[in-house]
Amino acid sequence: MLDIKIIRQDPAGVAEKLAKKKYTLDIAAFEALDNERKVADSESQALLAERKSASKKIGELVQSGVSVDEAKQTVNETLAKIGEQLESLKERARKAQEAMDELLLSIPNIPDDAVPVGDDEDANIEVATWGTKPSFSFEPKDHVDIGEALGGLDFDTASKITGSRFVVMQGAMARLHRALIQFMLDTHINEHDYQEVYVPYMVNADSLKGTGQLPKFEEDLFKLGGEQGYYLIPTAEVPVTNMLRDQIVDAKQMEYGLRYTCHTPCFRSEAGSYGRDTRGMIRQHQFEKVEMVQLVKPSESEQALESLTGHAEAILQKLGLAYRKVILCGGDLGFSALKTYDLEVWLPGQQKYREISSCSNFGDYQARRMMARWRNPETNKPELLHTLNGSGLAVGRTLVAILENYQTEQGTVTVPEALRPYMGGITELS
């Protein structure tokens, strides 16, 4: 969350910057809560001082002619009254703090100055393109028609087993999906210096609060029954980033920053996407992703975003998939992000670019919620880390891109060279 000091110092300036995200900061509500807590604290301090001086008045009362018992009774009555007032003020301050915490958790991160103004994805700005869109001597099909004709994608059976927005993969298609995961992990580990981690697929509410999914986006999550209150993870970002929650990292560990890569299934209710991408694998309730997470010194996060995005781009380039890189406008920028690049792969079946990776810098926004810190050797004091993450890549969408970009007129799909070592000699899906 945001540093409350920044809001106090310049609430109007913060409100102006947040307007880029289409968020209206209620300055009056913030200042009222902040003042309520301050007043309660100030009055408590005054009462504590009064209680301290009251305990010394027994001697003064006795000297003035009051009996010892009467003096004690008078002072005790005063102390009891002060105690009641202190309890009332304590409760008042607690409620004000809880309301302030709730407000702060609902305020999104301030966008970077480089983030363009705009309402939605139509205002995102293209900053680079790579590769050549394939040309076909026939009308290209989309991944659903290709996959079903090959007997590799079965949406009807998945619907029978569970419901809509799921898929069953079979045979070489399932193997290709698995090959993509192995290929992505190996690339990030061997070429990009990430450490592979395996994490739980269920997390508690504190983890989701730490990365910003709760409390604002609970409807997008799958919450499990039972006393534990666990949630299925929407992305590996949540468990991996929370590995550093409530920790202070030694400066030596931060010499090159911390880099983690992780493969997990992801579970999303897609509550806000009714009617969108109902066909095929573009938007499903369960999908696989290889995630990249970096935790770095504040001075290094801007460059870290460029390198992390480059690591996602490397996967697309090795697979020979044409894509473009866009910077998200304020209206399309995520709640916790201060700056995001989306990589959009070309899909011949749709004749458009579609998002396949989102790479974001969160600054200290998540770290403040998680209390993830490092010890600065110059001051020997703990300071907040900066967190970043990105898809490296969304596996299902990468499979979609391969099916559509490597399709042949005969209905087969050529396996990209980079994946053949993982396919046991299979060069074509037929």
Residue ranges for the binding site?
Answer: 235-237, 268-270, 291, 355-358, 389, 391
Count of CB atoms situated within 10 Å of the CB of 320:
15
Where is the binding site for ATP, in residues? 268-270, 355-358
CA distance 339 to 334: 9
Q: Catalytic: 397? A: yes
> Of these residues, 283, 324, 354, 375, which one is catalytic?
283
Q: Catalytic: 135? A: no
Where is the binding site for L-serine, in residues? 235-237, 268, 291, 389, 391
> Of these residues, 37, 165, 259, 268, which one is catalytic?
268
Q: Catalytic: 283? A: yes
> Of these residues, 175, 344, 397, 404, which one is catalytic?
397
> Of these residues, 358, 360, 368, 369, which one is catalytic?
358
> Of these residues, 207, 355, 360, 369, which one is catalytic?
355
Q: Catalytic: 8? A: no
Q: Mind telling me the catalytic residues? A: 268, 283, 355, 358, 397
